[in-house]
């Protein structure tokens, strides 16, 4: 968490206002977001299932990443009234539109 009055926060706010690419990169930046999106796209869409395919991620980090991506409109959360209550995550249209971009970004990363 960045203190709102710090120079880092001021610089980040300026960059996000100045260039839409920075806003897009901010929405998918982070160590786990791309993997989480890919797994949800492939129907691994519950917290416990995501934990099992991402063994290095903490509960706190996974929860924060899911909340951030929901806030940014990439995911939606469906609460299913069962006992116990179940929560499924789904890609929104915006999240689905991101998938080919992630594939292209991965291919770009492989270029020599």
Rg (CA), the chain: 16
Query: All domains of the chain, ordered by start, with CATH?
Result: 1-29 (no CATH), 31-110 (1.10.10.10)
List the pLDDT tens digit at each of the 112 positions of the chain: 567 777 877 766 676 677 777 778 888 888 899 999 999 999 999 999 999 999 999 999 999 999 999 999 999 999 999 888 899 999 999 999 999 999 998 899 898 8
Q: Does an H or E element contain 33, and which?
A: helix 33-41
Nearest alpha-carbon partner for 33 in 55, 59, 56, 64: 64
Question: What integer pLDDT is reported at residue 2 of this predicted model?
Answer: 62
């Amino acid at each position: 968490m960045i203190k709102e009055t710090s120079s880092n926060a001021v610089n980040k706010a300026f960059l996000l206002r100045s260039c839409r690419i920075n806003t897009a990169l901010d929405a998918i930046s982070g160590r786990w977001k791309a993997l989480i999106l890919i797994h949800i796209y492939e129907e691994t869409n519950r917290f416990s299932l995501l934990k099992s395919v991402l063994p290095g991620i903490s509960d706190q980090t996974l929860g924060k990443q899911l909340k951030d991506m929901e806030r940014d409109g990439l995911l939606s959360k469906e609460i299913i009234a069962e006992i116990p209550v179940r929560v499924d995550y789904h890609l929104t249209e915006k999240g689905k539109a991101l998938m080919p971009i992630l594939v292209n970004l991965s291919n770009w990363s492989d270029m020599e």
